[in-house]
Structure 1
């Protein structure tokens, strides 16, 4: 019989609430009957009992508030940890991307330097004089413009180099022989690709730093989330009954009402 009553009280909340209410209501009478001192001064005993009940109620309220705060904090830290994990993945992908860009930039620079060295080897035989007639000048100008545009299309030179060559500025000289113009283009391309490689290295180092920082933030928040979740679990039995099964939005509203 005792087991049946106990099971009913544990599984059905209504009888348990009724039993608790009856117990609280009969407690003063039980204390009066159980204590000779209470029989001599019942009003003093009753005041002390009421004070004890008030303290007990306040203590339960404080524990409930602490449990609510711990539960909310655990949820907030969990969300922050999930977001930090996503951010860490994105920074890792960015770092891997910059690593590939460094490899490509390094190879492009090596290829440009090899083309330049090959052209320099051929330049030891010298080049003809600069253009002497308008026809020669026009032909060399067309060659220069085409060579610069081709280099820019292949990524060896920046797009701005085309505009500079068309305007005859930034060192582009249409009077030079095509062989010498080709050497100038290859030299400019090697310098541009070297600068591109150095920028890629700096970007890769920055991305590596950011990825490491993101990983540390993720790991720190994960640890804090585990600790907060364990603390919330310890205090869970102090939560008001209506908060244990409510939806997240409802929980926030009920938690605010409890305060």
Structure 2
């Protein structure tokens, strides 16, 4: 192994210096490696500088476009975040309604058990006189209206039998209330599931848009890292490309 190779392998500083020199002389090697550049060095230098300047301008235009794209995506992400917050509120509201529907169903089941216990002691037969029928009908209407006001029955319920004893009417009302509240609970389950799906989808959209905005911003910063070199007049410096090649 010769001295230069051993030095490059054992000492990092000379290796770095050689690598830097190779990078600095690479453009000149490209010019000298072209037959046309050898015959017309000044024109080749001008073309090479113009190509570099044009490439820099393209990079800056791409950086500006990427920056605008990042701003637009960021604005879309902010708008999506506002919408996602509304979907989140709807989801939380549906959860409250689901819990209320579940508790209402449990309460209706408890009322039915109590009504069945009260009716188990035995009840008189159906109304036998007009006065008795009218009294049972009034009781039924009051009981149904009160249950509807408490939200235990639909307001437009019908099909009640006023001939039954009030204890039997309580059983019928409790059964109808439990069935209706169970349906309301099942609807609340479906509504909560749909609201949760919409909220999660909205949050995923926000995350995706913010990621795209970040990627576009990084791309814009990378592209804007290359700035076109300032143009200096040859009269002021005396060392333009033509002067260098001519000397």
Q: Given the two structures, how large is their TM-score scaled by the length of structure 1?
A: 0.65
Corresponding residue of 1:111: 107
Is residue 109–residue 197 contact of structure 1 (8 Å, CA) maintained in 2? yes
Distance 1:201 1:173 in 2: 32
**How far did residue 68 of structure 1 move?**
2.0
- Structure 1 172/239 Cα, relative in aligned 2: closer, same or farther at 3 Å? farther
Distance 1:138 1:114 in 2: 29
Is residue 68–residue 239 contact of structure 1 (8 Å, CA) maintained in 2? no
1:13-92 → structure 2 map (5 Å cutoff): 51-52=47-48, 55-56=51-52, 58-92=54-88
Is residue 67–residue 239 contact of structure 1 (8 Å, CA) maintained in 2? no
1:153-172 → structure 2 map (5 Å cutoff): 153-161=149-157, 164=158, 171-172=159-160
Q: Secondary structure at the match of 2:172?
A: helix
1:1-259 → structure 2 map (5 Å cutoff): 51-52=47-48, 55-56=51-52, 58-161=54-157, 164=158, 171-236=159-224
Unpaired segments of 5 or more residues in structure 1? 1-40, 165-170, 241-259
CA offsets 1:200-240 (integer angstroms, 9 cap, x no match):
11212222222222222222222222111111122235699
Is residue 126–residue 164 contact of structure 2 (8 Å, CA) maintained in 1? yes
- Structure 1 106/239 Cα, relative in aligned 2: closer, same or farther at 3 Å? farther
**How far did residue 114 of structure 1 move?**
0.6
**How far did residue 49 of structure 1 move?**
6.2
**How far did residue 46 of structure 1 move?**
6.9
Corresponding residue of 2:236: none
Count of residue correspondences: 191
Bigger CA drift: 196-205 or 54-63? 54-63
Q: Secondary structure at the match of 1:158?
A: coil
CA offsets 1:135-166 (integer angstroms, 9 cap, x no match):
222222222111111100000011111xx2xx
Is residue 62–residue 220 contact of structure 2 (8 Å, CA) maintained in 1? no
The structure having more radius of gyration, on CA atoms, is: 2
Distance 1:86 1:225 in 2: 17
The structure, 1 or 2, with the larger RCO (C-alpha pairs under 8 Å, 6+ apart) is: 2
Return the structure number with greater helix share.
Answer: 1
The Cα RMSD (Å) is 2.5
Distance 2:156 2:59 in 1: 70
Distance 2:42 2:221 in 1: 37
CA offsets 1:48-95 (integer angstroms, 9 cap, x no match):
566556545543442232122101110011112212222332222222
Q: Given the two structures, how large is their TM-score scaled by the length of structure 2?
A: 0.68
